[in-house]
């Protein structure tokens, strides 16, 4: 089960790396002139700030996800912990898609709540394991 938590954490790291790559592509017209429109504008101008904001989000609440997983791996990892970890990762991907592609703040809030609750489950399991 520890392997499953490690894989979930690695999947989130890969997702953050992909977002870094996407941000690099989105900034290329402004920074290097690569991919500029004929009028000199950046075709990614609308989504570039959203990608940047989402990438910043990958280093906020997810920090508590990674910490909980690492601490849980010091003991017996339950199937519930593994499920919560993978729900978190799937939720992070969905959150990125919603934040980057749409302006739907309500939907983004619902998706964030899924991530939020998954991390709270991990922390509850951690506290329960320490107290028992």
Domain that holds residue 59: 2-131
- Is pLDDT above 90 for 38? no
**HEC profile for the chain?**
CHHHHHHHHHHHHHHHHHHHHHHHHHHHHHHCCCCCCCCCCCCCCCCHHHHHHHHHHCCCHHHHHHHHHHHHCCCCCCHHHHHHHHHHHHHHHHHHHHHHHCCCHHHHHHHHHHHHHHHHHHHHHHHHHHHC
pLDDT for 50-107, tens place per residue?
999 999 999 999 999 999 999 999 998 999 999 999 999 999 999 999 999 999 999 9
- Is pLDDT above 90 for 126? yes
pLDDT of residue 32: 83
Structurally, the chain folds into a number of domains equal to 1
Residue entry with tokens 């991390």: 119
- Is pLDDT above 90 for 111? yes
Q: Read off the CATH number of the domain in which 110 is found.
A: 1.20.120.550
CB–CB of 92/62 below 8 Å?
Answer: yes
Residue 112, both tokens: 């964030």
pLDDT for 5-36, tens place per residue?
999 999 999 999 999 999 999 999 888 888 88
């Amino acid at each position: 089960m520890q392997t499953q938590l490690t894989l979930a954490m690695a999947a989130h790291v890969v997702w953050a790396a992909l977002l870094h790559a996407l941000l690099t592509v989105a900034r290329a017209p402004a920074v290097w002139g690569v991919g500029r429109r004929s009028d000199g504008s950046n075709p990614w101008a609308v989504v570039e700030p959203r990608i940047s904001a989402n990438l910043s989000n990958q280093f906020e609440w997810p920090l508590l996800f990674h910490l909980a997983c690492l601490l849980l791996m010091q003991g017996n990892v339950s199937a519930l912990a593994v499920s919560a970890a993978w729900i978190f990762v799937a939720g992070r991907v969905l959150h990125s898609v919603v934040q980057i592609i749409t302006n739907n703040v309500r939907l983004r809030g619902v998706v964030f709540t899924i991530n939020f609750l998954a991390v709270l489950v991990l922390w509850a399991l951690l506290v329960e394991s320490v107290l028992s």
